[in-house]
Amino acid sequence: MDDPYDFLVIGGGPAGLSSAIYASRSKLDTLVLEGNSLGGQLGNYEDLENYPGMVDINAGDLQESLQEHARKFGADLVKGQVVDLNVDDFIKEVKTKDGNVYRSKSLLIATGADPRKLGVPGEQEFSGRGVSYCATCDADFYVDLEVLVVGNGNSAVEEAIHLTNFASRVTLVVIHEEGKMDAEKLFQEQAYENDKIDFEWNSTLARVEGDQLVERAILKNVRTGKEREFPCDGIFIFVGRVPSTDFLEDSPIELNDSGYVMTDENMQTNIQGVYAAGDVRQKSVRQVITAAGDGATAAVQSQRYLEAEEHWRDNVLATDKQVIVVFWNPTHDESLETLQQLEELGVEEVEDKKLVKIDTYRNELITERYKIKEIPTVLTVEDSQEVGRAVKPTRQELKQLIN
């Protein structure tokens, strides 16, 4: 069986590729698995105006640059849709739809989110036949035609503006009263100034109708409850996204009620060695730049995790000696005194003993795992089990631990 990867990334969007860049540059053997196309949601956009340091960068160019950057440092980028995983052991296993199994010591979930469906009559039937969730993908099908855009957030307004480069008329269906939208002010101003964009206020999409293709939308006024026909050639729906976490439903990885992966500020999930980054995790801001930042953080934390875990396994769990473990800090006088006393007592000269030092500042993982609250704390470990503990030990207590 092949050696496991150090770092396996599920998802090849900005979060996943950014993490791969950081991980592979740190000499971690890194694999990225992407079920669709590398770049994630970048493939759904034309231009980016808010990626720091890059003015009006093309989303496709950024997508290709991220891939090239990850490959430069040696990351493997492989097509594969993950359908199942096992994270119970130190070596995690990931299974793809085509039956391949990949093994890794640490894991990052960066599968992003998919467009949210409205669930109205006709939406599913006409999907791909006039109903779309990606203007960048489908705009050129609507040259000189009239389209609706349902939604009023950043994505909806930005995509409506993009559609005016193709369609003869774009109408935004907004659930709020006139003049109120959820999009940022910049996007609102651009929409108001565009003479090819109209607005249907206080309205929602009630159903989609047509023959072989979309011919009309039935709009409902949320204030009066009245419905009316709106002739159109296409309907673009942008009402938020849902996390791509179906494959995690039977796993021990904690999700919130909306299906997003729960993490701490270090992207750590409730499972040691498993991280989440980007739009798939519970967070307040979902942008390309925050996804990239999440990915970088996850990669750095994974490297620290592997260093701590492998050091512990190699020097404590894998030894046939009784291990004296000292949790200390080099800036802490009492810690230094304890180490000096152990040296004077000759612990390293005892044949069946081994001394291991854990700096609590540098190795938070093992410190937290063994619930070390004060330093110095000295543990004795035998056959991978803690058999003794002394907090701020006296010289006599240290002598008893050794003997």
Residues 232 and 247 grouped into a single domain: no
CATH number for the domain that contains residue 230? 3.50.50.60
pTM equals: 0.80
My answer on whether 42 and 16 are in the same domain is yes
Q: Which of 264, 296, 312 is the last residue of a domain?
A: 312
Q: 3-state class of 385 per DSSP?
A: strand
**Is residue 188 one of the residues assigned to a domain?**
yes
Crossing angle, helix 185-193 and helix 154-163, to 10 degrees? 30
Mean pLDDT of 334-355: 87
Highest mean pLDDT among 35-44, 49-58, 345-354, 380-389: 380-389
Walk across the sheet containing 214-221 and list its strands. 203-210, 214-221, 227-231
**Contact of 101 with 95, CB cutoff 8 Å:** yes
Which residues are annotated as catalytic? 134, 137-138
Do 61 and 23 lie in one domain? The reply is yes
What is the predicted pLDDT for the residue at 176? 96
* Block residue for tokens 């950014």: 18
Q: Look over the chain and give the mean of its residue pLDDT values, rounded to a whole number.
A: 91
Give the residue numbers spanning the domain of 389: 319-402
Note the pLDDT of residue 186: 92
Tell me, yes or no, whether 123 lies in a domain.
no
Check residue 36 and give its pLDDT.
Answer: 76
Q: Alpha helices of 92-230 — where are they, by DSSP H?
A: 135-138, 154-163, 185-193
At residue 40, the pLDDT reads: 60
Look at residue 182 in the predicted model and tell me its pLDDT: 94
Do residues 75 and 102 share a domain? yes
Domain boundary (295, 312, 329) is at 312
Q: How far apart are the first and last CA of the chain?
A: 43
Please give the Cα distance from 316 to 309 (Å, whole number): 10
Query: Is the distance from CB of 197 to CB of 236 less than 8 angstroms?
Result: no
**Per-residue pLDDT reduced to its tens digit, 258-311:** 999 999 999 999 999 999 999 999 887 778 889 999 999 999 999 999 999 999
Same domain, 54 and 26: yes
For the stretch 392-400, contacts whose Cβ atoms lie closer than 8 Å and that sit 24 or more positions apart, written own/partner, are: 392/334, 393/338, 395/341, 395/345, 398/338, 398/341, 398/342, 398/345, 399/345
pLDDT in tens, 8-29: 999 999 999 999 999 999 999 9
Strand partners, 358: 327
Tokens 């979902």 appear where? 286
Same-domain check for residues 9 and 108: yes
Q: Which two tokens stand for residue 321?
A: 């000696």
- In a shared domain, residues 43 and 73: yes
The rounded distance, in Å, linking the Cα atoms of 35 and 26 is 25
pLDDT at residue 39 is higher than 60: no
Band (37; pLDDT cuts 50, 70, 90): low
Lowest mean pLDDT among 35-44, 69-78, 250-259, 369-378: 35-44
- Start-end of H helices in 140-274: 154-163, 185-193
**119 falls within a domain:** no
pLDDT of residue 64: 86
Residue 121 lies in a domain: no
Pair (11, 104) in one structural domain: yes
Choose one of 283, 312, 341: the last residue of a domain. 312
Taking CA atoms, 391 is separated from 226, 283, 308, 314, 367, in Å, by 73, 39, 22, 25, 13
Secondary structure of the chain: what % helix, strand, coil (to 5)?
30, 30, 40
Confidence of residue 41 (pLDDT cuts 50, 70, 90): low
Over residues 97-124, the pLDDT tens digits come to: 999 999 999 999 999 988 889 999 999 9
CB atoms within 10 A of CB 239: 19
DSSP conformation class of 225: -
Cis ω before 14 (30° cut-off from 0): no
Residue 56 phi/psi, 5-degree rounding, is 55, 45
Number of domains into which the chain is organized: 3
pLDDT at position 287: 81
